[in-house]
Amino acid sequence: MQFCTLVLVSALLPFLSTGYTSIVEHVDNLPTQEFDFVVIGSGTAGNVITNHLTENPAVNVLVLEAGGFDLNTKVPGFFGRDMGSPLDWNFTANLGLATENRMGTVVRGFVLGGSSAISSMVYTRRSDDDWDHYADLTGDSGWSWDSIQQYIKKNETFTQPSDFHNISGQFDPTVHGFDGISSVTLTSYVHKFDDLVIQSSLLPDAEIPFKLNPNDGNNIGLSWGQAMILNGERSSSATSYLALQFRKRSNLHILLHAHVTRILRMEDDHETAFSGVEFTQDAGATFQVINATKEIIVSGGAIGSLNILYNSSIGDAETLTNLGILSTLDLPSVGQNYTDQGIVDYIWIVNSTDPNDFLSQDESVREGQLEQWEQNKTGPLADGALVTGCFFRLPDNASIFETVKDPSAGPNSGIRNLRVPHAGTQRVHAGDAGDAGDAGTHYPLLIM
């Protein structure tokens, strides 16, 4: 299809010329079968861990990624097509009582960068109420809003949008970091509808007033959206924590298409010591083993890590027995306390005949938008899902509160139920190593 080919041809040139010497696609291309550290999963967390481990030149690190490397993930405006595509694990789950136990999709990235490579790139820190709730829940003040800010800012570098428009009055620079690795920016393509939305929030009697920065701890209000984008390209954990300057480290090695099935105990059968990582590159036809001399880091995601642990006989003994797996390390907490956020799309019909008003279904318009992005990284494809956004609360006297308790963490939080009183559970179903299918996740009551 021409629409996709245009991206691949132009993007492959810098890909080949800069050299990805640390990334290989077959186990035979690795320099050794033994590493100090083996990181399972190159997702949002795994790449951060890898980056920090390889700061020490005295150790060598291998990253095992089940997916591949896809250049189309660099285009922010393509995010919607990545979900449910071959770049997604395509898990399904029981969505819980609020949906009458319907099955639904659970998006998880099957590509270098994990879910950060296929997400909508929306950047939100949530509210100070939420972080303070985490601190109370864990009994650790280090998770409080005030304590966590130094780390959030250390990770972030706020950058100019790709169209270099004047962003004064669109964000508060005192809230952000400017020396980190992950890029955060404002939208570069403002549609006339977005201008109208912002103008409505500036009216004296605005129902949802304008909020200069939604990430200062108080979410309530309508703001310009912030996104994980750098110079018109997606900023994922792969493009940031595995950027070229880090991939040049001689102690870093990345193996793609390596679907980890389990971790293996040391030869002395020590109950809690593991040294081997078993994986397949051909959907279970053959299996390979890589050894770690220091540590194995299981960072396969909320669902993937569970599958690996269960297949390694680690988890709740009763659950493993029901799956036909011999339990050798009984850890009842494995697979418990799973929480997630549901999403519902609202669609409006507007009176517009201008094909440039949207990411058009007209192929010629789409190709023009793609050409603009390729030339200068601007236009509709330079932005993710959110140009403007708002968090709001119902009035304290809303009738729903007569029967339902306010689920938010406090007055600075919009009612988007990220914290639930009863977390869900996960169960895997026995199957082939290459199966994705049903994640066996059971959600708590999430949708309100």
Shortest CA distance to 236 belongs to which of 158, 120, 124, 151?
120
Q: In whole angstroms, how far apart are CA 355 and each of 191, 350, 370?
A: 13, 12, 14
Q: Which residues of 40-50 are buried (b: 16+ CB within 10 A; e: fewer)?
A: bbbbbbbbbbb
260 has binding-site annotation = yes
> What is the CA 402 to chain-centroid distance, rounded?
36
Return the beta strands (E) in 324-400 as ranges.
329-330, 388-391
Give which of 408, 418, 416 is closest to 443, Cα–Cα. 418
Residue type, 15: F
The annotation status of 107 as a binding-site residue, yes or no, is: no
Cβ–Cβ < 8 Å for 216, 124: no
How far CA 399 is from CA of 98, 221, 251, 396, 446, in Å, comes to 20, 22, 60, 9, 20
- At 137, which helix (H) or strand (E)? helix 128-138
Q: Are 255 and 63 in contact (CB under 8 A)?
A: yes
Pairing state of beta strands 425-426 and 388-391? Answer: unpaired
Contacts 24+ apart (CB under 8 A), 163-171: 163/188, 163/189, 163/378, 163/382, 165/190, 169/212, 170/212, 170/224, 171/212, 171/213, 171/224, 171/226
Neighbours of 231 (CB within 10 A): 15
Reported for 342-351, long-range contacts at CB under 8 A and 24+ positions apart, including other chains, are: 342/95, 342/104, 342/443, 342/446, 342/447, 344/447, 350/193
Amino acid type, 336 = Q
Q: How many helices (H) and strands (E) does the chain have?
A: 11, 20
User: Closest Cα partner for 255 from 289, 293, 305, 304?
Assistant: 289
Which amino acid, residue 146? D
107: left (phi over 0), alpha (psi -120 to 50) or beta: beta
Q: Which residues are annotated as a binding site for FAD?
A: 111, 260
Q: Which residues are annotated as a binding site?
A: 111, 260
